Chains A and B, each alone.
Chain A
């Protein structure tokens, strides 16, 4: 019985979803500088502690990275994510506690059973950095799963794989996690946007101890951060789940389509159009997308494009606007 309760309780682990559509038509101040500052402050504090300690000379670069990770790690939600969800320095949608409670009743995944695993965890608000909107959960993906993938990639390189092959293997392994415990199996949602944040995080950690040009450098005065984190280097339009569509199980997709269709009229909103144009100009095929496309080609995952808002809204002229929802045809 205890084991059953444990399994039931653990099922929503990291089944934490976000909804960037909810932020359509609303303004969000860009928070790149404060987000950078928060992460860099954490890193600088760790370096100061290491440099003041007796063992600083015995610390390897990977030891330092491990200490940085420990500084950010917390229970499922890592500290920078919790900070971004609470601080008044980061603008977000929803922005106030009242709005947040309303968000939980109205966001994409709200119209499901109260026993739905997704609803047992709080949804992530949307923030903006480097001109891209994304859920605060991406900060944890970047720092947490990114570190995991970095470790896997390093392990594969140690085993003799070429760096490019090691990277692909690490992405595939990350994808397996997203398809099982962190996504598809636990919540019926597979998020390529999460994978993009994981990939960016892996590259960030790879760079910290890169042999040719390490970001962390050991000097006579101790460890120092040569190039502070700048999210502009890492955040891409693919982090935005209204741009990079999720892949859903059939059951989840059936429930989700009506809610998605409500956003079709907003595709004509000038701000939404401008943002999607800007995304289109910046978007390029990433290594994660290549792996994903390979999975889709081999039939191991549906093509994410079929879940895009454009596809959902293709025939919108035939079924009216958001106010005519009661006349919508049943989901396919």
Chain B
């Protein structure tokens, strides 16, 4: 009798463990399905970028742009989000202006702003740019057109930039290549 009771208890325990295991498996499968669904259900969005920089050869300049990205539908981005995608930026300053297209990748947030990034905690971008200099640029002659590549890095409160440009306008005696750099705030 005692042996039968033990066997029954063991069988019940085994079936209980099997039931709990099956329940856990079902929960894990459901979780996987929900995660997969969320990763699939992405929407296209855009975010605005702003920056103030002091760079060579534009001197003090202001930049604005748009970064297009895809994200799960339920992301809000009032607080920390990752943004990755094609980036278009225009920039104008005392000594020149540029238009650039490329790729941006950052961790930042919109805050309560509906469109523009409020904080860029860390990020980088690279862009193919057309640069036109004017006014108070240190270049001689002041009016030159250049094309090149630019990379910007943002961390915390500051951004840094490096670039290399080739002159495409006529400027007798002026160097054909130009290295550019700068620091500032924003993305």
With contacts A74-B82, A85-B79, A87-B74 taken as known, whether A8 is within 8 angstroms of B158 at the C-beta atoms is yes
Do the beta carbons of B121 and A97 come within 8 Å of each other?
no
| Chain A 1-38: CB-based contact to B (< 8 A → 1; otherwise 0) | 11001101111110000000000000000000110111
Q: Is B47 in the interface zone, CB < 8 Å from A?
A: no
With contacts A8-B158, A75-B106, A122-B121 taken as known, whether A82 is within 8 angstroms of B80 at the C-beta atoms is yes
Q: Is A100 in the interface zone, CB < 8 Å from B?
A: yes
With contacts A37-B35, A82-B80 taken as known, whether A75 is within 8 angstroms of B72 at the C-beta atoms is no
Main secondary structure of the interface of B (DSSP, over half): mixed
Q: Is A76 in the interface zone, CB < 8 Å from B?
A: yes
Do the beta carbons of A6 and B72 come within 8 Å of each other?
no
Residues of A within 8 A of B114 (CB): none
Do the beta carbons of A5 and B107 come within 8 Å of each other?
no
Task: Give chain A nearest CB distance to B161 CB in angstroms.
Answer: 10
Do the beta carbons of B28 and A87 come within 8 Å of each other?
no
Do the beta carbons of B81 and A86 come within 8 Å of each other?
yes
Q: Is A332 in the interface zone, CB < 8 Å from B?
A: no
Task: Give chain B nearest CB distance to A85 CB in angstroms.
Answer: 6
With contacts A2-B160, A122-B79 taken as known, whether A33 is within 8 angstroms of B107 at the C-beta atoms is no
A12 nearest CB neighbor, chain B only: B156
**Residue among B28, B76, B82, B157 making CB contact with A120, cutoff 8 Å:** B157
Give the interface size bracket for B toward A: 35 or more
| Chain A 223-256: CB-based contact to B (< 8 A → 1; otherwise 0) | 0000000000000000000000000000000000
B182 nearest CB neighbor, chain A only: A2
Q: Is B78 in the interface zone, CB < 8 Å from A?
A: yes
Q: For residues 11 through 60 of chain B, which have their beta carbon under 8 Å from a beta carbon of chain A?
A: 27-28, 30-32, 34-36, 38-39
Q: Is B109 in the interface zone, CB < 8 Å from A?
A: yes
B119 nearest CB neighbor, chain A only: A122
Q: For residues 93 through 119 of chain A, which have their beta carbon under 8 Å from a beta carbon of chain B?
A: 97, 100-101
Residues of B within 8 A of A34 (CB): 31, 34-35
Q: Is B75 in the interface zone, CB < 8 Å from A?
A: yes
Do the beta carbons of A87 and B72 come within 8 Å of each other?
yes
23 intermolecular pairs with C-beta atoms under 8 Å apart: A1-B183, A5-B160, A8-B157, A10-B155, A10-B156, A13-B155, A13-B156, A37-B32, A37-B36, A38-B35, A74-B82, A75-B106, A82-B81, A82-B82, A85-B80, A86-B75, A86-B76, A87-B75, A88-B38, A89-B38, A120-B156, A121-B156, A122-B121
Interface residues of B (CB under 8 A from A): 27-28, 30-32, 34-36, 38-39, 72, 74-82, 105-107, 109, 111-112, 119, 121-124, 155-158, 160, 181, 183
For the complex with contacts A37-B32, A75-B122, A122-B109, 12 further pairs of A-B residues with Cβ separation under 8 Å are A9-B155, A13-B122, A13-B155, A33-B31, A74-B82, A75-B107, A79-B82, A87-B74, A89-B38, A100-B78, A100-B79, A101-B79
